[in-house]
Amino acid sequence: MNDALSAQPTPAAAGATAPAAPATPAAMAPLDARIIAVTSGKGGVGKTFVSANLAAALTRRGLRVLVLDADLGLANLDVVLNLHPKTTLHDVFTGKAKLDEAVIKAPGGFSVVLAGSGMVEYSRLTPEVRNEFFNVIQTLAPHYDVVLLDTGAGISDVVLFSVSLAHEVLIVATPEPTSLTDAYAAIKVLTTQQKRQHVHMVVNQAARAGDGRAITGQLQQVLDRFVTTDSGRPMRLIHMGDIPADPSVREAVMRRQLLMQQMPGCPAALAVAQLANKLETTLLKPASNR
């Protein structure tokens, strides 16, 4: 287990560690720049959809937003946003391009840094990948109010490392039992490895209003019994909202457009707008009120 994987960003960590196992960027960034990892246990549950549309909704609320495609080997944020980047994180990591060349504007008005797809070198967490990735976030975070990391699914060390760079974690799960079992496994790992005391949860593709809260409640009951944090208290799930299953989501993806722009009044878009509201008032309020 490496240090970076178990490190949770705290201001106290600022400047305390050597370059090989650096202090987290969250610690270096101004207190108002929040880094939020959007992650999941199971794949295909809607992380990229949530990241992109949440970014658009937060931008509409006047925030400076960056989405970083942290799904290094299997990136597809570019597909969802219909972008054809000349420069990706891969070019930055390999010294072929400067970081500012990789920051581009997405249709929703927010900034994105895209990753390449199909690159096997990012299936393993090497010291190079770790340091490059860390440097990218450390350099960019101070320029934004919020940085969303659209991570890969699961508990591979690459995913866990990108999550470790975030102040807060937003777990996306669907009501399917397989998604919930995998969410439980991921949360357990975040508790033990990253010493997290809480994570946020959004239930996507909910069939009925209220389903998500009930599901979060059930998962909390299991955590209460089996997963204890360092402080001796159970891991706490903070329910951030439900997004209904909505055919407009698929339509927007097929057209490679943002749902928030394409169909801002559809049920899923309204739910994402509500999620942005909740996120802003709970996670992004001034550091002094947090």
The continuous run of DSSP H or E covering 105 comes out as strand 103-105
Q: Which stretch binds Mg ion (CB under 5 A): 9-17, 20-28, 41-49, 173-181?
A: 41-49
Binding flag, residue 48, ligand ATP (CB under 6 A): yes
State the distance between the two ends of the chain, measured CA to CA, in whole angstroms: 31
> Of 48 and 220, which has the nearer Cβ to Mg ion?
48
- CB of residue 158 to ligand ATP, shortest distance in Å: 13
33 close to 137: Cβ distance less than 8 angstroms: no
Q: Which of 69, 78, 157, 246 binds ligand ATP (CB under 6 A)?
A: 246
Convert residues 146-185 into a mask of x (bound to ligand ATP by CB under 6 A) and - (unbound).
Answer: -------x--------------------------------
Distance CA 287, CA 57 (A): 21
Q: Which stretch binds ligand ATP (CB under 6 A): 6-14, 45-53, 94-102, 122-130?
A: 45-53
> Of 175 and 234, which has the nearer Cβ to ligand ATP?
175
Convert residues 250-279 into a mask of x (bound to ligand ATP by CB under 6 A) and - (unbound).
Answer: x--x--------------x-----------
Q: Which stretch binds ligand ATP (CB under 6 A): 23-31, 89-97, 182-190, 249-257?
A: 249-257
- Total interface residues for ligand ATP by CB under 6 A: 19
Binding flag, residue 48, Mg ion (CB under 5 A): yes
Tokens of 88: 């990706």
Q: Of 12, 162, 194, 2, whose CA–CA distance to 89 is shortest?
A: 162
Tokens of 140: 């960019």
199 close to 238: Cβ distance less than 8 angstroms: yes
- CB of residue 268 to ligand ATP, shortest distance in Å: 5
Q: Decide the pairing of beta strands 236-244 and 146-153.
A: unpaired
DSSP 235: P
Binding flag, residue 40, ligand ATP (CB under 6 A): yes
Binding flag, residue 42, Mg ion (CB under 5 A): no
- CB of residue 47 to Mg ion, shortest distance in Å: 5
68 close to 137: Cβ distance less than 8 angstroms: yes
278 close to 241: Cβ distance less than 8 angstroms: yes
Q: Of 193, 177, 179, 178, whose CA–CA distance to 227 is shortest?
A: 193
Q: Across 219-265, where does the E strand assignment appear?
A: 236-244
157 close to 6: Cβ distance less than 8 angstroms: no
- Binding-site ranges for ligand ATP (CB under 6 A): 40, 43-49, 71, 153, 204-205, 243, 245-246, 249-250, 253, 268
- Binding-site ranges for Mg ion (CB under 5 A): 47-48
